[in-house]
Structure 1
């Protein structure tokens, strides 16, 4: 039997990543192949239906997978995660010369966000706004840069557009994941000392390799063991880890998704049984 893995083709390098990992796993005796999807919503539905055994899920895709599976009386769980997907934060940026000192200073102003389905640049920053008493459409304006809708923020084009709008002065603040703040500064998308961090979210986790409802236990355990055995010091393993911007695989966990799940409920993004309920959201 071949273990079938699902992944979303959010970037051309996805093919390179999973083709290389497929070869690495097969060389170690694990029969595995992969299927690519154009967006996460279809991948989630295919995983829960049993058409793939495991899937590389965004945090938002994990939440929907768990809800759909629970509604169907099935179980699903996170197998492994990248070390680089744990304990991340998003930041609210303002121009360095702006007068804003705290998040409530943005009352009656405009904040640029990434795509509507981006956990790191939309759902979690919107939760941060609500916690601070800022309600989009009431006492603060949010402007979404809906690039790559359906990719759950894995395409950073929305964050880049929000950052560019901040520099241009068409928004007063912008939300990006902390890592992209560093990358945008290094690439001069945000020139050094042009912006500053006003506030940040609590830490959260990003993606995981999710085990589906029909996954063969023996092959899943072999997959987990092989991935956890990858060693950055090993020159054979290192290129595969570098391609995924990581040093090591870690055991999957769910504790880093709680604030996102709460935001999903507050926004009405998915129902408790996993139906898409976000107004106007269609990948």
Structure 2
């Protein structure tokens, strides 16, 4: 009986050995993982929001995870195409652009709103004290966009304006790219632009509400004059070339964050989101089509 138990124990250890060996293999190959974030807010805001999450990933994965705040949306795309960024937190248009420009990436987690929906909107803000009530009132005024690869800050606004028969470069006095959603609101607040595009989930969560919670602006100083149709929420994506065991470990760590480190999840979402849910690249096909439409508009402008 003792001999039989010994053999069974040895068999169990051998069965488990390949998994352990695979885990050790990827840890040896990846002593550091780079997690990059598009610049939706200023650098200090990104560090404050994502720092605890990256620390959690380091503890959970057992390998160092470094946070990189990208200079612009394209930097995350280029970094993943080059293999220098292992995990990226994208906006939907930037991720769609990554897919169509050859970046070997796989979406694995999607943001989920408090009401269970998985989408958000592009809005046009004006200052509360301005006379503007409709887009048509802004002819000859200055438009603030975010980044050429932003869904809510460029592509959806351009799509919506086109449906109104408006070419931004011809209709507005000037079209300004602010670089981030926060910068677009600041430009509007300071009068650099007269209307600004931004992201908006609902009345309780938006970039404007986040800025108000940080004391950067007062939400009551702005109002919405246009809201788009819904855009699919932002994904996290990793390199397709990562070992399967590492991908599984990353997915598990992200999905279990709210339970394993509630404080880090609270910091990341301001308590305004549900846990991530699984997603794949196919969910962003409509955004690929949106990007193509906007690219066509740009070619028409010459």
TM-score of the superposed pair, with normalisation by structure 2: 0.67
How far did 1:98 drift? 6.2
Aligned mate of 2:186, from 134, 139, 160? 160
How far did 1:251 drift? 1.6
Distance 1:80 1:270, change over 3 A: farther
How far did 1:242 drift? 1.9
Structure 2 residue aligned with 1:175: 197
Residues 165-193 of structure 1, C-alpha deviations (whole Å, 9 max, x = no match): 28xxx63x43232213445667583563x
Aligned equivalents of 1:98, 1:81: Cα separation in 2? 37
How far did 1:116 drift? 3.8
The reply to whether residue 250 of structure 1 matches residue 277 of structure 2 is yes
Q: Larger helix proportion, structure 1 or 2?
A: 2
Residues 119-171 of structure 1, C-alpha deviations (whole Å, 9 max, x = no match): 32232212111111112233x216334333xxxx3x511232124428xxx63
Residue pair 1:54, 1:215 contacting (<8 A) in 2 also: no
Q: Secondary structure at the match of 1:77?
A: strand
Aligned mate of 2:158, from 126, 144, 154? 126
How far did 1:212 drift? 1.4
Q: Secondary structure at the match of 1:88?
A: strand
The reply to whether residue 227 of structure 1 matches residue 227 of structure 2 is no
How far did 1:209 drift? 1.4
- Find the structure with the greater CA-based Rg: 2
Where structure 2 has 5 or more consecutive residues not aligned to the other structure, the ranges are 1-25, 201-205
How far did 1:106 drift? 3.5
Structure 2 residue aligned with 1:274: none
Q: Larger strand proportion, structure 1 or 2?
A: 2
Residue pair 1:114, 1:146 contacting (<8 A) in 2 also: yes
Q: Secondary structure at the match of 2:229?
A: coil
Aligned equivalents of 2:54, 2:147: Cα separation in 1? 32
Aligned equivalents of 2:190, 2:133: Cα separation in 1? 21
Structure 1 residue aligned with 2:87: 54
Aligned equivalents of 1:24, 1:188: Cα separation in 2? 28
Q: How does 1:128-277 map to 2 (within 5 A)?
A: 128-138=160-170, 140-141=171-172, 143-148=174-179, 153=180, 156-165=182-191, 171=194, 173-178=195-200, 179-183=206-210, 187=215, 189=217, 192=220, 195-231=222-258, 234=259, 237-245=261-269, 246-253=273-280, 257=284, 260-268=287-295
Residue pair 2:126, 2:196 contacting (<8 A) in 1 also: yes
